[in-house]
Structure 1
Amino acid sequence: MTGTAPTASRTLRPPPGYRLAATIRPLTFSPYDPCARIVDDTLWWATRTPAGPGTLALHGTGSELRADGYGPGGDWLVAHADAVAGLRDDLTGFADLARSHPVVARLAARHAGLRMPATGLVFPRVLRAVFEQKVTGKEAYRAYAATVRHFAAPAPGPVSLLLPPEPAAVAATPYWVFHPFGVEQRRAETLRRAAAVADRLERCADSAEATRRLTAVAGIGVWTAAEVVRVAYGDADAVSVGDYHVPNTVAWALAGEPRGDDARLLELLEPFRGHRGRVCRLLEVAGVQAPKFGPRAPIRSFARF
């Protein structure tokens, strides 16, 4: 922990009814995320920026948000704090689209203060998304947290957090180092390949270009790319095609069908094009779940391999 005084600060004025905690929840992996924490309506988020490592604190204070940045990347984070807080989120046209379905209309009204955050940073999200590929949430978090702690780079600021690992360090790490973290060779090699081209991924002009570059990396498909650009770019239309739960959730919420496939997912979301990812996020925040059938997926271990 270094640098307890902010290097930069800024006051933001969100719209009436804005909900900070719900908006920035996608920036945290769990309440125990080593890189991020929400405490008393304050987000503490440690990351690596183009200007260097930094920590951003977003404090809710009545009708205002105070953004404090720490470390070499503090200025960069404060300059982008409105995007991180979802205040650059463009809801143009969504109100009209939402009225086309009673469930979406009701959720849009109930969660009107929800915004889509945009971090402007790709690789930290790639790190998480690759670990989430085709495993349970517990497995993914275990791998993510263990990897962050393996590289163990302290973040600046008054709160004890760790920085995500540097892409160069990840690219140079043999795949078998990740095995004790519960990561098999396939995901470890995918992460290493993405880390090797992280500079190119960070230089994308928009979500579409980032999606093209991401899916050009072997092991990264449309699901992983959508998980990345929805948060890195605040892409409100990004749909996680190939997800285990999302097609069922959308089919249940919008059509009363307990199961759905990717084709049905896209069919039901088509009327909301431009905001399809926003609809999925609303369903997630509202806790909508399709009926569950069958056993849960087992948690596996690769530590012995």
Structure 2
Amino acid sequence: MDGGDTLTSMTPLSPVDEVTVTSQRPLDAALTLSPHQRGPGDPAHRRSADGAIWRVSRQLSGPVTYRITQSDRHTVRVQAWGPGATEFLTGAEALLGLDDEAEDFAPEHPKLAEAHRRFPHLRIGRTGRVMEALVPAILEQRVHGIDAFAAWRRLLTKFGERPPGPAPDGMRVPLTADQWRRMPSWEFHRANVDPARSKTIVQCARVADRLEQASSFPRAEATKRLRAVPGVGIWTAAEVAQRAFGDSDALSVGDYHLAAVVGWSLLGEPIDDAQMVQYLAPLQPHRYRAVRLLQVSGQAVKPKFGPRTAVADHRWH
């Protein structure tokens, strides 16, 4: 279990809305939703002892707590509480990747072909919530994951509101754009977030309405709008596109490890970003899908050479 499974509620008698999602193609809710968890103890994502996935989000209509359980390979039950429940449930199928098309994905590399055969239930889902994907991605820029996850956990735990309905203890609703915009600089500092990243978060929060609109744009146009904000580069935009837009082609160019992992896994040698882009070009529009298949199939490899770099502590400067 990722966190405590004690259920708490500020409104224990709050009504629950629910839908049952079925698909002829296999589904795996846990696999589809795993990229949305930002490290162990993510206050917006929990896996309870009974296998249920709990998440909290902020819809246009308000906060929502939702619980996802899978009864078989083709059926998922989605329950939701709170002001945003009805709005959230209209997008439940998209979240679970039912509109993710992979029929034209036919990789030639034996590792990818085998992974695709073994994981036909891999889906690329989309939340449609840009800021909820964007802020954690900015926190993850140029730092260790453990450092970024700790910052996300600290800020969300301290400033996020308690979720509606029942939820595992310690869960919090992602902050509003106005909360991020008004976040005192010293709170970012205490969370070990350097000024460059905190400035980017605040700038994004100031134009959050325009950024949220991008979820309805064609993917290229949506990415262009994200990258118009200073501090949001190709890597950050790809990380958001993967989660908020369900972009199966959003390749995280600029990732510290990805090019080397792709090179070692598929070619047996390291490559750089430019070589990775060139090598994976024939797989468009499924380059992110290919990366996910390497990850979930256990075939993503990268030899370790030397000690791991230290986590930077920005709180003392």
Question: 1:70: Cα distance to partner?
Answer: 0.7
Q: CA deviation at 1:6?
A: 4.2
Give the alignment of 1:213-252 within 5 angstroms: 213-252=225-264
- Residues 94-127 of structure 1 show CA distances to partners (whole Å, capped at 9, x for unaligned) of 1xx32x1111101101111111110011001011
Hey, what does 1:203 align to over in structure 2?
A: 213
Question: What does residue 57 of structure 1 align with?
Answer: 67
Aligned AA (2:256)? Y
Q: What is the root-mean-square deviation in Å for CA atoms of aligned residues?
A: 1.4
What is the distance in 1 between the residues matched to 2:96 and 2:66? Answer: 11
Aligned counterparts of 1:284 and 1:183: Cα–Cα separation in 2: 28
For residue 23 of structure 2, what is the aligned residue in structure 1?
14
Q: Which of the residues 2, 14, 17 maps onto 2:10?
A: 2
Amino acid paired to 1:119: T
Q: Distance in 2 between matches of 1:3 and 1:261?
A: 52
1:23–1:114: 8 Å Cα contact kept in structure 2?
yes
Counterpart residue number, 1:74? 85
Q: What residue is the counterpart of 2:47 in the other structure?
A: 38
Q: Secondary structure at the match of 1:165?
A: coil
Offset of residue 44 of structure 1: 0.9
Match of residue 183 from structure 1: 193
Question: Which residue, 201, 206, 224 being the options, matches 1:212?
Answer: 224
Corresponding residue for residue 271 of structure 2: 260
SS of 2:136 mapped into structure 1: helix
Aligned partner letter, 1:282? L
Deviations 1:215-241 (Å, cap 9, x if unpaired)? Answer: 111111000000001110100000000
Q: What amino acid does structure 2 have at the position aligned with 1:25?
A: S
Q: Distance in 1 between matches of 2:289 and 2:37?
A: 18
Q: Secondary structure at the match of 1:54?
A: strand
- Match of residue 124, structure 1, among 121, 132, 142: 132
Q: How far, CA to CA, are the matches of 2:15 and 2:208 in structure 1?
A: 28
Identity, % of aligned positions: 37
Alignment partner, residue 106 of structure 1: 114
Q: What count of residue pairs does the alignment treat as equivalent?
A: 301
Unaligned runs of 5+ in 2: 1-8
Alpha-carbon distance, 1:209 to partner: 2.4
Find 1:91's aligned residue among 93, 97, 102.
102
Name the SS for the 2:316 alignment partner: coil
> 2:316: which partner in 1?
304
Query: Which range moved further: 17-26 or 211-220?
Result: 17-26
8 Å CA contact 1:7, 1:75 repeated in 2: no
Q: Distance in 1 between matches of 2:27 and 2:92?
A: 15
**How far does residue 2 in structure 1 lie from its aligned partner after superposition?**
3.1
Deviations 1:66-112, CA, capped at 9 Å, x for gaps: 11111000111111111111222111301xx32x1111101101111
Contact residue 3 and residue 71 of structure 1 kept, 8 A: no
The more displaced of 267-276 and 295-304 is: 295-304
Partner of residue 6, structure 2:
none
Match of residue 281 from structure 1: 292
Contact 1:6 1:74 in 2 (8 A): no
**1: CA distance between counterparts of 2:212 and 2:267?**
38
Q: Distance in 1 between matches of 2:238 and 2:95?
A: 18
Rounded to whole Å, the distance in 2 between the matches of 1:6 and 1:240 is 40
Shift of 1:281: 1.0
Query: Retained in 2: the 8 A contact 1:35–1:162?
Result: yes
In 2, Cα distance between equivalents of 1:6 and 1:269: 48
1:159-209 CA distance string (max 9 Å, x none):
132011111111112333201101010000011101111111111223322
Matched, 1:134 2:142: yes
Structure 2 residue aligned with 1:171:
181
